[in-house]
Amino acid sequence: MNLVTKLSNNDVVVEIKRTGPTVVIGERINPTGRKKVLAALQAGDFDIVRKDAIKQVEAGAAVLDVNAGVPGADEVALLSEVMKVVMDVVDVPLCIDTANPEALEAALKLYPGKALINSANGEEKSLSSILPLAKEYNAVVIGLCMDDDGIPPTPEGRLEVAKKIIQRATDLGIPVEDIVIDPLAMTMGADHLAGSVVLETTKLLVKELGVNITMGSSNVSFGIPDRKYLNSAFMAMAIQAGMTCPITNPLTTEVRTAVLAADLSLGHDEYAMRWIQDFRKRKKAKEEKEAQKA
């Protein structure tokens, strides 16, 4: 089964499918762990958001994750404002990243297309509040493999949570292709088996359900040195396992090239055109940087 998940922003449509190139979801418009973004949003300064949006799309992000979780702020108003700022400068589809149903609905109301919701999970509170909004606004929803009992330690346990999310969503009339599953990448710094568990979960989800797969892939390296090398190696392995739309930083060269290399190796880059285009772009940037130093 090769499900095709479609996202849109006005006339711009992005297809996520296992037989096509990996769809990168840019992660940088998020104040969590980014002090500069947090400070800027607290001050009502959206310049860094504009720059991050443009740079990520230029680096190959086909979708942008937008998070406005600023402590103490009115997230309902702030998320909508950040969404408007991003849509003013780029035209790619957006991934609305919030656990606040009110903020989510406000953002969905203003969004001109088929959005991606990040995210629902198997907890009853999440299922009953997020899935109806996804149905009402014809959005695609990410389902995290966790529920009221926490994060299952085994691939089989995570598969069962995914099945529950899909069942609840389809009972509401949400088609399977509008559900993207996140097997939950955890840091290998805390558990050396975390990477292998999420890779095996991905394979199992693809085999049993055929759904598209996302994850915050850089989570696997949290707390470990030289993260970009770990992230790039894991990225290629996750794509081979069946991940189709990672949430990651496209500005990290090692990660971006790992995505392109994996796509080419799996036959998803005809005549190596995307690989060659990125090589030329990197070569040009290097030459311009050296010229500035001269």
CB-CB contact of 210 with 3 (8 Å): yes
Domain count for the chain, please give it.
1
For position 100, which CATH number holds? 3.20.20.20
Model confidence, pTM: 0.96
Buried b (16+ CB within 10 A) or exposed e, 7-20: bbbeeeebebbbee
pLDDT single digits (tens) 191-227: 999 999 999 999 999 999 999 999 998 999 999 999 9
The domain in which residue 270 lies consists of: 5-293
Name the strand (E) or helix (H) holding 285: helix 273-293
Closest to 116 (Cα-Cα) out of 203, 236, 23, 249: 23
CB-CB contact of 26 with 65 (8 Å): yes
Closest to 238 (Cα-Cα) out of 181, 179, 168: 181
pLDDT single digits (tens) 49-102: 999 999 999 999 999 999 999 998 999 999 999 999 999 999 999 999 999 999
189 pLDDT higher than 80: yes
Name the strand (E) or helix (H) holding 239: helix 227-241
Please report which confidence band the pLDDT of residue 289 belongs to, taking 50, 70 and 90 as the band edges: confident
